[in-house]
């Protein structure tokens, strides 16, 4: 009897794991090649689309992928199928407000948050810097597939894609009819202009190099690029104040990418003193935690300085995390992170449908017991324990 009960429990667990994700085939935008809208290696842009149904058939969620490896410079190296979960789930119990929308994952393949636009191919690397063209070509393809008739539309993204959803927010709005309700959602894309532990402005110099290499200045929001150095317009604290389209920010105050690459990048920590702390926040020393608390305050100041509009929303928790909308465990599950009694999915859904505003900031670490804090293995791969 005990064995039978165990097998039944196992079967239920396997069914739940299966229903949490949906495998979606890749689509290549072959027509983009003739327009010069290509990935770094010259391959065509790509996306994954799961069509909506029922009341959501005329609503579109267009999500810009995060940068997760060198393979993302080529659509030929990308997985032909990816699993949709979290904000992409087609199950009401997993994704109550967007489950039946047309849900799109636009693959990241340009290296500059879809802002590059240089005609010439790099003579040394043979790379194409055409991210802005890629964005436009993908949007044109989606418009032809029905997005031009959208009743609701969200441009979202994670990490570099989250930054892209901010940079392209108003231009996305301009593509659609005035009758369409359009809003933008940036997950883990609110990167701040801050000094690292050595006192250097490493991330500012990095973004300046990206903008120069990709020729991004001419595609960044004009009001920002005309008032300051274009590289500074890669920081949402500088560019978000000029965005007119409603915007929601989901971010961990101790974002793992920012702690590892802005606060304590390897170049500023040559002896690896921050290694254990960056791998597992529970291993941080008192002084390292104090430094991280200071970084959190800088993040909150940057957020507040980006403009406080009634149409804005934010969910800023005190987790050691990165990209919380794409994973079921952090988007909408019984044990998902909570702020003011709301999970991320509930906060975003309420904000989008104007049911109630949501602008909440968590208390400082380690107060939040609902977090799914990431731990990194020896190859720097994250996992949730």
Q: Give the tens place of pLDDT for each residue, 35-67.
A: 999 999 999 999 999 999 999 999 999 999 998
Question: Does 3 score more than 60 pLDDT?
Answer: no
CB 370 within 8 A of CB 335: yes
- 156 - beta bridge partners? 63, 185
Q: Give the tens place of pLDDT for each residue, 251-263.
A: 999 999 999 999 9
Q: How many CB atoms lie within 10 A of CB 69?
A: 8
pLDDT band at residue 72, thresholds of 50, 70 and 90?
low
pLDDT band at residue 21, thresholds of 50, 70 and 90?
confident
Distance CA 358, CA 350 (A): 8
CA 365, distance to chain mean position in Å, is: 22
What one-character-per-residue DSSP string does 303-315 give?
A: HHHT---TT-EEE
Percentage helix, strand, coil, to 5, in the chain?
A: 40, 15, 45
Whether this model's pTM surpasses 0.75:
yes
Of the listed ranges 223-232, 269-278, 305-314, the one predicted with least confidence: 305-314
Distance CA 207, CA 81 (A): 31
pLDDT band at residue 384, thresholds of 50, 70 and 90?
low
pLDDT band at residue 4, thresholds of 50, 70 and 90?
very low
pLDDT at 20: 61
**Average pLDDT value for the chain:** 93
Q: Which residues, other chains included, contact 367 with Cβ-Cβ below 8 Å and sequence gap of 6+?
A: 318
- The mean per-residue pLDDT over the stretch 366-371 comes to 98
Distance CA 122, CA 126 (A): 5
What secondary structure, in 3-state letters, does 234-269 show?
HCHHHHHHHCCCCEEEEEECCCHHHHHHHHCCHHHC
- The mean per-residue pLDDT over the stretch 160-179 comes to 98
Question: Does 344 score more than 80 pLDDT?
Answer: yes
pLDDT band at residue 16, thresholds of 50, 70 and 90?
very low
Question: Does 147 score more than 90 pLDDT?
Answer: yes
Question: Does 307 score more than 70 pLDDT?
Answer: yes
Distance CA 263, CA 368 (A): 22
Q: Give the tens place of pLDDT for each residue, 185-214.
A: 999 999 999 999 999 999 999 999 999 999
CB 318 within 8 A of CB 367: yes
* CA distance between the termini of the chain: 31
User: Which is more confident, 339 or 305?
Assistant: 339
Q: Which of 64, 242, 79 is nearest to 160 (CA)?
A: 64
pLDDT at 6: 36
State the catalytic residues. 159, 255, 322
Q: Which residues, other chains included, contact 212 with Cβ-Cβ below 8 Å and sequence gap of 6+?
A: 231
pLDDT at 290: 98
- The mean per-residue pLDDT over the stretch 213-238 comes to 96
């Amino acid at each position: 009897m005990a064995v039978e009960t165990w097998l039944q429990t196992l079967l239920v667990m396997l069914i739940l794991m299966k229903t949490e994700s949906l495998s979606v085939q890749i689509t290549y935008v072959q027509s983009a090649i003739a327009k010069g809208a290509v990935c770094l290696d010259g391959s065509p842009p790509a996306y994954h689309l799961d069509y909506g149904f029922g009341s959501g058939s005329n609503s579109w969620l267009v999500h810009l992928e995060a940068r997760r490896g060198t393979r993302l410079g080529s659509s030929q190296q990308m997985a032909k199928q990816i699993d949709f979960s979290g904000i992409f789930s087609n199950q009401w119990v997993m994704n109550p407000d967007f489950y039946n929308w047309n849900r799109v994952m636009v693959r990241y393949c340009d290296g500059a948050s879809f802002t590059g636009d240089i005609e010439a191919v790099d003579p040394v690397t043979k790379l194409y810097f055409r991210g802005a063209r890629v964005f436009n070509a993908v949007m044109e393809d989606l418009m032809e597939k029905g997005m031009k008739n959208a009743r609701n539309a969200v441009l979202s993204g994670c990490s570099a894609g989250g930054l892209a959803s901010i940079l392209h927010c108003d231009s996305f709005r301009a593509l659609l009819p005035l009758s369409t309700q359009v809003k933008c959602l940036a997950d883990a894309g609110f990167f701040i202009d801050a000094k690292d532990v050595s006192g250097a402005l490493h991330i500012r110099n990095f973004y300046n190099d990206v903008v120069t290499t990709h020729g991004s200045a001419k595609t960044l929001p004009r009001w920002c690029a005309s008032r300051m150095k274009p590289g500074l317009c890669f920081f949402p604290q500088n560019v978000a104040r000029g965005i007119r389209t409603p915007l929601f920010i989901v971010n961990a105050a101790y974002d793992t990418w920012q702690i590892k690459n802005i606060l304590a990048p390897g170049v500023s920590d040559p002896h690896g003193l921050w290694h254990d702390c960056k791998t597992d926040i529970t291993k941080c020393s008192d002084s390292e935690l104090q430094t991280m608390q200071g970084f959190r305050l800088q993040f909150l100041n940057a957020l507040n300085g980006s403009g406080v509009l009634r149409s804005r929303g934010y969910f800023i928790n005190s987790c050691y995390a990165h990209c919380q909308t794409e994973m079921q465990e952090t988007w909408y599950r019984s044990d998902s992170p909570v702020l003011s009694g709301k999970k991320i999915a509930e906060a975003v859904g309420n904000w989008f449908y104007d049911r109630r505003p949501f602008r909440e900031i968590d208390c400082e670490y380690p107060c939040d017991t609902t977090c799914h804090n990431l731990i990194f293995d020896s190859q720097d791969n994250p996992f949730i324990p």
